[in-house]
Structure 1
Amino acid sequence: MIEFRPVTRNIGAEVSGVDLRGPLAEDEVARIRRGWLEYKVLFFRDQHITDEEHIRFAENFGTVNHPAFKKAGDGAVHVLDQTDPKGEGGDEWHSDSTFEPVPPMGSLLRCVRLPGVGGDTLWADAQLAYETLSPPVRRLCEELTAVHDITASMRKAIAKGHDFDLAEVQARWPPIERPVVRVHAETGRRALFVNRASTTRLVQLSDRENEALLPYLVDHIRSPEYQVRLTWRPGTLAFWDNRSTQHYAVADYTERRRMHRVTIDAFPEHRDA
């Protein structure tokens, strides 16, 4: 039987009683989905699966999304193979691809190879971060929208030696305005929806007001009580809800770390209004 063991009081659970190598029954999929919505990020240990099995598991929960910046031959699986991750973008608190018109609903990240030490990942509960703001600040945030822009992330990637045409990327994904508070399509809970990686300004506020409020909001989510930290092992798979979390990849290693990620979009019945 599938069981969930909470890792912290507020976010994250380890899952037992399931083998991801084979197809899952409908009741198993439903139970995992309920746990995913409750705990926001699930950890499956000792799942030494293939890319095909990884994709098949993901398809139970959404439509597989082809990565925005995939390498040739990656297909639906985005391979993250790094030895020098500092400044690559993952080492900032972020939700994935908030610069896209429809950001992905979730991601399933699987550990294939690890450095001798380091390379943990942290997730934070963006819903709890919103709910613990004072009522006046929550009301203000409900009235605001924010600009999300890929430019800063791309400039960092180019500086690290990645071969991107900045003008082409900017044309493909121009800045987009979205609510500061996101309402979850399945649970109705509200989440703080600004992040350090791509949120550039709060539209309705002056420059000076932005200087005060935006840094506060993006830093608020870093409170330890909102977080869970995963120390990976080969065969570990993490499945997180991109609508209710942010995450941070700790760039504290210089040996090879190889991860395989599958990203999913929501089924029509689970899309935000």
Structure 2
Amino acid sequence: MSASTTLTAPIGPFPLFGYPLVVGPYGHLRAERDRLRGLRWQHFDARLVGATLGAEISGVDLTVEQPAEVIAEITQALHDYKVLFFRDQPLTPAQHVRFARGFGELEIHPALAASADQPELVRFEKGDNMVGVENAWHHDVTWRERPSLGAILHAVDVPEIGGDTLFADMYAAHDSLDDETRAEIDTLDAVHDFTRAFGRGASPEQQEQLRKQHPSVVHPVVAKHAVTGRKHLYVNRIFTEGIVGYDESRSRELIDRLARRADAPEHQVRLKWEPDTVAFWDNRAVQHYAASDYWPQRRVVERASIIGPRPSR
């Protein structure tokens, strides 16, 4: 068997769920990994922590207002590394919002609880009386016509064990697909629906009212990043309702098959939170997954999201 072989039949007792299993090196990651390892920065240091995504940034204090040249370099680093981690950043809510506003207009979420004094900050507070239910791969707010281009999450209180967040590279996920699948999905569109996540438990009348307030939107299955120009997968199990032109069964099969590309550890980086850790991710280039393994411990994080352009191909 060669160093990298694609198998289309089950190995031993393990089913392959109808899609090829790649064994051996993920060769499509090498060029990007080598490129990222060679990057250098003027205003801070960056240490690559994943194969193709994730860098720990040091030498910058987010509690003070950053000059335009630092904001510009952080923006470039975000586009390169896809997700940035800053340790020991004791941000107040006002400082958090000020930093986030440096990257664009902030969104206000219509359904999630906000911080007391900062409506742009979503506050996720989980513990023994409020369980975490975030454990599924997703891009944030793809039900918006203009989903967020990025999000900045600050850890206020974290459990001693558990509560990590995982990030998956959707460029690499796209590049890992076989030619036939890429050809199939390149011109497809998908419907994204607010009520898939935020209408659960609502009556049909309530769901209809929610759909009037937040109509479903259509985005490309494969979007082109507005800055880098790279193609990335843009469907997820939480908000993607179906594929335009496909029946329900065919839609779910394709959405699930594409969503599984985030499952490959080779496409991931994992963040273990500490108090006052800040994560800044590109909401187009990556999906994220909040591990819900810490109950009944307490976990409090606050998120500011920057409004982005409408996805396009």
TM-score, structure 2 length as denominator? 0.79
**How far apart are 1:207 and its partner, in Å?**
4.0
Distance 2:94 2:259 in 1: 36
The within-5 A match list for 1:82-93 is: 82-83=126-127, 84-86=130-132, 88=133, 90-93=134-137
Partner of residue 169, structure 2: 125
**How far apart are 1:181 and its partner, in Å?**
0.6
8 Å CA contact 2:164, 2:271 repeated in 1: yes
Q: Is residue 110 of structure 1 aligned with residue 159 of structure 2?
A: no
- Correspondent of 1:170 among 211, 223, 227: 211
Match of 2:151, SS?
A: strand
Match of 1:137, SS?
A: helix
Q: Is residue 29 of structure 1 aligned with residue 84 of structure 2?
A: no
The within-5 A match list for 1:34-73 is: 34-71=76-113, 73=116
- Correspondent of 1:214 among 252, 255, 268: 255
Match of 2:89, SS?
A: coil
Distance 2:105 2:288 in 1: 22
Q: Is residue 257 of structure 1 aligned with residue 303 of structure 2?
A: no
Distance 1:172 1:211 in 2: 25
Distance 1:85 1:105 in 2: 27
Partner of residue 271, structure 2: 230
Label 1:71 to 1:206 Cα distance change in 2 as closer, same or farther (>3 A): closer
Q: Aligned Cα RMSD in Å? A: 1.8
Partner of residue 287, structure 2: 246
* Letter paired with 2:264: S
8 Å CA contact 1:44, 1:236 repeated in 2: yes
Distance 1:66 1:201 in 2: 26
Ranges in structure 2 where 5+ consecutive residues have no aligned partner: 1-42
* Letter paired with 1:101: E
8 Å CA contact 2:223, 2:311 repeated in 1: no
**How far apart are 1:193 and its partner, in Å?**
0.5
* Letter paired with 1:224: P
**How far apart are 1:11 and its partner, in Å?**
0.8
175-184 or 39-48, larger mean C-alpha shift: 175-184
**How far apart are 1:47 and its partner, in Å?**
0.3
8 Å CA contact 2:188, 2:243 repeated in 1: yes
Distance 2:262 2:142 in 1: 16
Distance 1:219 1:18 in 2: 36
8 Å CA contact 1:11, 1:125 repeated in 2: yes
1:143-177 deviation per Cα after TM superposition (whole angstroms, max 9, x unaligned): 21111122231244x48xxxxx5343222112222
8 Å CA contact 1:154, 1:166 repeated in 2: no
* Letter paired with 2:233: L
Label 1:255 to 1:104 Cα distance change in 2 as closer, same or farther (>3 A): same
Q: Aligned residues, how many?
A: 262
Match of 2:106, SS?
A: strand
Ranges in structure 1 where 5+ consecutive residues have no aligned partner: 160-164
Distance 1:58 1:155 in 2: 29
* Letter paired with 2:111: F
**How far apart are 1:272 and its partner, in Å?**
5.1
- Over 4 Å off, 4+ runs: 270-273
**How far apart are 1:209 and its partner, in Å?**
3.0
